[in-house]
Amino acid sequence: MDRSAIRVVLVEPSHPGNIGAVARAMKNMGLEQLVLVGPRQFPDAEATARASGADDVLARAQVFATLPEALADCGFVAATTSRERDQYFRVADVREAAGRLVSEAARGPVAMLFGSERAGLTNEQLKAAHLLVRIPASPAYPSLNLAMAVQIVAYELFRADGVVVEPAPAAGPLADPAELERLYTHFAQVLEEVDFRDRTQSGTHLMARIRRFLQRAELDHNEVNILRGFLTAVQRRRRRAGES
């Protein structure tokens, strides 16, 4: 496993002690890249104390103001959740997800997202995820401490590194979140231009559905370019028709 290609991304962590405990959990399992998005308090003495020997992981930690910045150049993105989500998300058990992350890390940077201690990840923060990860737990109390959740995922990544996993398809790197956002913006623009609208009662779900099935398709850079080329061709043909 290319450990440097796997990012553990903590979104809006509120307790510095948890950041330190996460660094320790990562070092236990050989992970190196800790990324923090909008931490409430970092650096902090409590984080250093809880890291307990993983000071090097803390020292390398990158801090970003926004999630898109943290995910820049990541092809495959997985995100943890303990709540029921939109049915169009693909959901995997943590062991299955770990195997996939290890496989994808062989062809480019990947990210594993963890939400804040209080609220987890919002639907907006999940937009870049190709896969949601569930950690099996008692239905009576399924909520895990942030560092515990990272420890379990890190262990499964460590374990998956020693297991033969199906290699990633022989294709180029997956499109990163910024490329996908440009595609979705282009798609929405063309839908508006050709007056293709959501005909359901609420009339608000069409673009969300399109975004979700394209996320499940896991498009690479060339496939994004093909779709954008097609959308541009539609726009040009429509403009020529309007001129005539």
Return all residues near 182 (Cβ < 8 A) that are at least 6 apart. Answer: 228
pLDDT in tens, 136-161: 888 888 889 999 999 999 999 999 98
pTM score over 0.75: yes
pLDDT score, position 103: 92
pLDDT of residue 85: 57
Can you tell me the mean pLDDT for 83-109?
85
Residues forming CATH 3.40.1280.10 domain(s) in the chain: 3-161
**CATH 1.10.8.590 domain position(s) in the chain:** 177-243
Instruction: Label residue 169 by pLDDT band (50, 70, 90).
Output: low
Q: Which fold has domain 177-243?
A: Helicase, Ruva Protein; domain 3 (1.10.8)
pLDDT digits (tens, 9 = 90+) for 34-76: 999 999 999 999 999 999 999 999 999 999 999 999 999 999 9
* DSSP symbols for 109-173: -EEEEE-BTTTB--TTGGGG-SEEEE----TTS-PPPHHHHHHHHHHHHHHHHTS--PPPPSS-P
Residue 225 pLDDT: 94
Sequence-ordered alpha helix ranges (H) in the chain: 16-28, 45-51, 55-60, 67-70, 94-105, 146-161, 177-193, 206-217, 221-243
For domain 3-161, give the CATH number: 3.40.1280.10
Q: Rounded mean pLDDT of 209-223?
A: 90
